[in-house]
Amino acid sequence: MRRLPLLGILLLLVGCDEMSHQPKYDSYEKSKLFADGKSMQVPPRGSIGRDDPALLVALKQQPPMSRQLVERGRDRFNIYCVPCHDQAGYGNGTVPNRGFPRPPSFHIDRLRQASPAYFVDVITHGHGVMYAYADRVAPADRWAIAAYIQALQLSQDAPADLLSPDERTKLEKADAAP
């Protein structure tokens, strides 16, 4: 029975160096894989490098608020943010409900006062235990998510005077119901 752990360790040690001895091409080495015989290929049309100037400009320029921007933000928020932040943005998603750290609610004063650029920065670089989403979320979509977060914040704490008289009557009836 003592030999079983020793055998497991021995098997692990045997497989440790396989990554350094795998077949690979150096950048300028000839290759039979591609028709032109080069191992280093031109990036496919439409691909964008992480340090592309157009991406950096899109990251720095906040687009104007629009219905389309908020709708795109809701779509991206539901994909990337809901698992931790939940659909209303209170931080009660399925991930923290399974034991991971709970993110702050978007409805606390500190985050209500935060600018859209703050949310874009957090999506880009991460914050606390949240990792960066820069490799998953395009800069334009980061701004869209930030716009949607602002809409969520307003939806949860909208002043009653912004409502039409009919909407206020419905709200008062809902508050009065037992």
pLDDT, one tens digit per residue, over 165-177 is: 888 888 788 778 7
Q: Count of domains in the chain?
A: 1
Flag whether 35 is in a domain.
Answer: no
Q: Which of 81, 98, 89 is nearest to 136 (CA)?
A: 81
Q: Are 89 and 154 in contact (CB under 8 A)?
A: no
Flag whether 128 is in a domain.
Answer: yes
Flag whether 81 is in a domain.
Answer: yes
Flag whether 20 is in a domain.
Answer: no
Question: What percent of the chain has a predicted confidence (pLDDT) above 70?
Answer: 92
Flag whether 25 is in a domain.
Answer: no
Torsion angles phi and psi, residue 160, rounded to 5: -60, -25
Mean pLDDT of 17-22: 67
| Mean pLDDT taken over the chain | 88
Looking at residue 29, what is its pLDDT?
87
Flag whether 7 is in a domain.
Answer: no
134-171 burial, b if ≥16 CB within 10 A, otherwise e?
beebebebbbbbbbbbbbbbeeeeeeeeeeeeeeeeee
Which range of residues forms the domain containing residue 64?
57-157
CATH number at residue 127: 1.10.760.10
Flag whether 15 is in a domain.
Answer: no
Say if residue 18's pLDDT is above 80: no
Q: Are 90 and 105 in contact (CB under 8 A)?
A: yes
Identify the three-state secondary structure at position 130.
strand
Mean pLDDT of 28-51: 84
Flag whether 28 is in a domain.
Answer: no
Looking at residue 165, what is its pLDDT?
87
Say if residue 145's pLDDT is above 70: yes
Round to whole Å and give the CA distance between 87 and 81.
8
Confidence (pTM): 0.69
Say if residue 34's pLDDT is above 80: yes
**Residue 8 structure tokens:** 């497991």
Say if residue 133's pLDDT is above 80: yes
